[in-house]
Structure 1
Amino acid sequence: MPRTAARLLTGTAFAVAAAAGHAVPAYGADGGTGGLKVSPSSAVPGDQVTVTTAACGDGGSAAGDAGAVGAGRFTLAPGAHKGEAVARFRVPPSAQQGTYEIVAQCAEDGRKITGDLVVTLSPVPQQQVYPRGSVKTGVGGALGPDPVLTAAGVAALAVAAAGGTWLLHRRARGDGI
């Protein structure tokens, strides 16, 4: 299909959606999970969870419900970032392992938004693990880990580079080699 025809069809589709009264949901960065971002998305009983949404508009607030996990109701209020409403709740110690739907309802228009919370019984390691030791790549290692030999090798390379540069300079001037 020619590029202009594809643009025409895309533009027509967006125009129809706009004329239909905002029929295209705009969930944006939350990946289409229903408009409610739950962070962390995986928690253990006793953890504090932050719930954020931009679906209720600037200065919007919402009534939240984490009753599915046993945490009860909470209120989302405008947060530090413009256009976001934020709330926090604690996962109760009695929570069982599973995936729970967290629900909020915007105060202005009554829109229902949802997000998922995964409860695990063992904590997920949050600490970054870095590798240790050497990597066997087959490159280098001829001199070993001795710093004196390594320094000698670097010095030999520097002398060779300087000598090569001097010879090229003499040749460019026409002095011959």
Structure 2
Amino acid sequence: MRRTARLLTGTALAVAAVGLAAPAPAHAGEAAATGGLEVYPASVVPGERATVHTVACGADGPAAGDASAVGAGAFPLAPVAGETGTTGRFEVPPSAQPGTYEIVATCGDGGLRVTGDLVVTLTSAREQVYPRGSVKTGVGGALGPDPVQTAAGVAALAVAAAGGTWLLHRRARGDGI
């Protein structure tokens, strides 16, 4: 029994190691994950500019970008001094709807196609949103939004304090409750 367990464990580990070492299947005409299309910022609001960068096309070859999925159309990619790869920019149209869009770059030399995702949201991640208003906890507050309710609460506390004092005074005198 112990030998069978060791044999099965060893076989499972060997299969897992082969699975991890095997290269992932590549689709024809697409770059590997290390040479994909990087989109900055990854999340934008309509009307903002986005930048794409890829090293898959090399620093010398021309490349064309396509952001028609989000409604921005075609844009060029060009080498940038001091960087490897090519970079391009496009503006997300103000009419873009929230969602995730595929941005494509095609290398001119071999027709290599690389893709990246752009997320369009209605609010920017850079904007701070601060809460407004009161919190409805059921406990109340010292200065609620309604002065009439505040006055009624103060009056109820005053009556309770006066009644408690009167009852304690009667008890101390021996009159009973």
The interval holding the TM-score normalised by the smaller chain is 0.5 to 0.7
Q: Does 1:86 align with 2:84?
A: no
Q: Distance in 1 between matches of 2:121 and 2:59?
A: 34
Structure 1 residue 124: Cα displacement: 1.1
Which string of whole-angstrom CA distances, capped at 9 and with x for unpartnered residues, describes residues 65-98 of structure 1?
0000000000101113443100000110000000
Structure 2's unaligned 5+ residue stretches are 1-13, 24-30, 129-177
Q: Does 1:97 align with 2:111?
A: no
Matches within 5 A, 1:17-56: 26-28=32-34, 35-56=36-57
Q: Which amino acid aligns with 1:91?
A: V
Q: Compute the TM-score of the two structures, normalised by the length of structure 2.
A: 0.53
Structure 1's unaligned 5+ residue stretches are 1-5, 18-24, 29-33, 128-177
8 Å contact from structure 1 (residues 60, 83) kept in 2: no
Q: Compute the TM-score of the two structures, normalised by the length of structure 1.
A: 0.53
Matches within 5 A, 1:137-176: none
Q: Distance in 2 between matches of 1:46 and 1:80?
A: 27
Q: Does 1:106 align with 2:104?
A: no
Taking only aligned residues, the RMSD between alpha carbons, in angstroms, comes to 2.5
Q: Distance in 2 between matches of 1:81 and 1:112?
A: 24
Structure 1 residue 38: Cα displacement: 0.3
Instruction: Find the counterpart in structure 2 of residue 31 from structure 1.
Output: none
Q: Distance in 1 between matches of 2:33 and 2:98?
A: 28
Q: Distance in 1 between matches of 2:81 and 2:102?
A: 25
Q: How many residue pairs are counted as aligned between the two chains? A: 106
Structure 1 residue 64: Cα displacement: 0.6
Q: Distance in 1 between matches of 2:93 and 2:78?
A: 22
Q: Does 1:61 align with 2:62?
A: yes
Q: Identical aligned pairs, as a percentage?
A: 58
8 Å contact from structure 1 (residues 96, 119) kept in 2: yes
Q: Distance in 1 between matches of 2:42 and 2:53?
A: 12
8 Å contact from structure 1 (residues 66, 101) kept in 2: yes
Q: Distance in 1 between matches of 2:76 and 2:87?
A: 8
Stretches (4+) displaced over 6 A: none
